[in-house]
Structure 1
């Protein structure tokens, strides 16, 4: 019988075959083999989830799953006072700080001036001049990045 020494004192000796119960030293044998520790305590049934009887027995009720209902998300957009000229704002759509792009549109105020001029007696086309003046029109403010509508300035 030869004694093999480990090359270093803090390492275990080399494997020399199966140990007790047919298992390698340092490893537990597979379940059902001799030397395998029993599960739970002897004389007691195996434990299930705490608070629930084991499945298959009377009185067993699986845990109920309640659906999670989330309320719909509401986006609150504060009304900004838009004027007739470009305004620095934070776009509510793309969240960028931009100066708005103004687009002038003919609105009720311009048409009201046209009607008043027609009633006064301007019949040679001079009554259509308010349709060409930006200061008589409504102003739509849009974002230069995403081209979405940010606000509207109406004269009436």
Structure 2
């Protein structure tokens, strides 16, 4: 193929070796402050681990359980597991059932809320130690 046809000379241009440039340092001048305390109500579900230089690393946070199995660390057996879920009748199922009875659906229709996933609470448990880890409630009653 004729390279002159495309506007390139016959010889290759000289190759210049790439010289890496070190990144700039990002040091912050001034006093260092400790991290702020966690907001009230947050619970650590992950056990503290020791890091190098004797520092402790603690992950703080709440686990909000949803309607599907989740990947969590069980506080009892300290294993990373995917939770087992089971459906339980909760406050919403009972309220919808009572509402059906009030409207006039007393011939078995009032039992439908106890068999639909929309109205049932979801209980999460550990597959290894069978400990109850949490529950996803449709309606909270305190």
Instruction: Give the TM-score of the pair, scaled to structure 2.
Output: 0.54
State the structure with bigger RCO (CA 8 A, min sep 6), 1 or 2.
2
Is the strand fraction higher in 1 or 2? 2
- Which structure is larger by alpha-carbon Rg, 1 or 2? 1
Q: Is residue 2:74 matched to residue 1:125?
A: no
Indicate the residue corresponding to 2:85 in structure 1.
102
1:92 Cα offset (Å): 1.2
Runs of 5+ in structure 2 lacking a partner? 1-42, 46-60
Residues 93 and 114 of structure 2 are in contact (CA less than 8 Å); yes or no, is this contact kept in structure 1? yes
Residues 44 and 62 of structure 2 are in contact (CA less than 8 Å); yes or no, is this contact kept in structure 1? no
Runs of 5+ in structure 1 lacking a partner? 1-74
Instruction: Give the TM-score of the pair, scaled to structure 1.
Output: 0.49
Residues 87 and 120 of structure 2 are in contact (CA less than 8 Å); yes or no, is this contact kept in structure 1? yes
The Cα offsets for residues 10-68 of structure 1, whole Å up to 9 and x where unpaired, read as xxxxxxxxxxxxxxxxxxxxxxxxxxxxxxxxxxxxxxxxxxxxxxxxxxxxxxxxxxx
Indicate the residue corresponding to 2:132 in structure 1.
149
Alignment of 1:36-47 (within 5 A): none
